[in-house]
Amino acid sequence: MILNIVDRKHLVLRAIMINICFATDENYLKYMSTAMVSILETADKNDELHFYILCNNISDNSKNNIKLLKRFKDFEVTFIDLDIEEFSKFPSGGSHISNTTYFRYKIAELCPNISKILYIDCDVIVKSSLKDLFEVDLTGYYLGGVEDVGYYYWRTVNDDFYLYKEGFYINAGVLLINLDEWRKNQLFKKLVDYTTNNSELVKIGDQDVINKVCTGKIKQLDYKWNVQDSFYREKPEREFNPNCNCIIEASQNPAIIHYTCVKKPWNDYTMSRATDWYMDYVLLLTKDENLEIEKAKIGMLRALTASLEKVNNVNKKVNNVNKMEKFTIKKFLRLMFSVVNCKKHKVLTILGIKIKFRRKNVKR
């Protein structure tokens, strides 16, 4: 916080602007919107937010829909249109990662009038105000990030596959970036040059490149600011890490939950902390005056059904443990997800939570 002295007896607190950057296309727009809702809903009253959206073919209608999120909390937004072709020849980080992720290479040039920005992937849910994270001192660093816990483990198991063999390696889904240092040291050029000249070595897209180019200039952030899938797995990813206790503590009290792998809460409801995402997604839908409830029902039903099919297949192999009745998909869906049409209202039940809203064209 910055203190403005009004007179000798009074001090007025003025909130600093929290600059937040996303990179997206139309395919990930609804997931980015859900992440934005989580930020707006958990922000402190005095938090001032400015979103910078790096866009690839985002329609004007979609941009207007993003502005409508101001119904949750007021914010500023700047849309920056980029051409994906500029990065089309760069190596992909996986089937679930779009090359729009490379847009952040240009972030210092695209935002010349600010000194610091918080880059966040679209597949996250924020659980607390971002003010404390944004105010972390980055003097002498290019950026701040959280260790990639899964990477720490798997590069030891399969050392030949991974580019970054040792040392501190971050997950690039949440980055606090020192834009002054990026401009001063021409990071955009260095990142592009390394990607172009070493594309055959890059396994995890721009994350590998950022770690390589910024070696020694990355500040380690508290694990709670990027709690990844690997924090919850039963495999030995976190137990193998020397900071195991810190990782467990962060997993129990996350500030940002990051769904890092191919499985996402919108396509696999059984994954860890999936309900956190669904609650914010439901909030996004139910506060929308133009909610098309049937489309919402179908979309979530598909996600739930696909996941519950897996549960049911496992259940079939169990021989009536303690003579308990099998919990079928049909019964589960009936209890957890339904739409009831009343005369003046519809009642939507999602994950056992009932939400009532007025039907269209009904006089008050």
Domain annotation for the chain: domains and CATH numbers:
2-258 (3.90.550.10), 274-358 (no CATH)
pLDDT by residue (tens digit) across 132-180? 999 999 999 999 999 988 777 777 666 556 666 667 899 999 999 999 9
CA-nearest of 41, 48, 108 to 80 is: 108
Chunked mean pLDDT (size 10), the chain, 364 residues: 44 74 92 94 96 93 94 96 80 63 92 97 95 97 93 69 72 97 96 89 85 94 93 70 88 93 80 78 63 49 53 50 50 62 65 61 52
Asked if residue 211 lies in contact with residue 170, where contact means CB atoms within 8 angstroms, the answer is yes
Q: CA 124, CA 274: separation in Å to the nearest integer?
A: 11
> Which pLDDT score is estimated for 355?
65
> Which pLDDT score is estimated for 273?
82
Asked if residue 256 lies in contact with residue 206, where contact means CB atoms within 8 angstroms, the answer is no
> Which pLDDT score is estimated for 193?
93
CA-nearest of 234, 301, 244, 311 to 272 is: 234
Contacts of 155 (CB under 8 A, 6+ apart): 161, 162, 164, 165, 169
Can you spell out the DSSP letters for 278-304? HHHHHHHHHT-TT--HHHHHHHHHHHH
Mean pLDDT for all residues in the chain? 79
> Which pLDDT score is estimated for 183?
97
> Which pLDDT score is estimated for 146?
97
> Which pLDDT score is estimated for 279?
74
Sign of CA dihedral 159, 164, 166, 171: negative
Task: Retrieve residue 165's tokens.
Answer: 């063999």
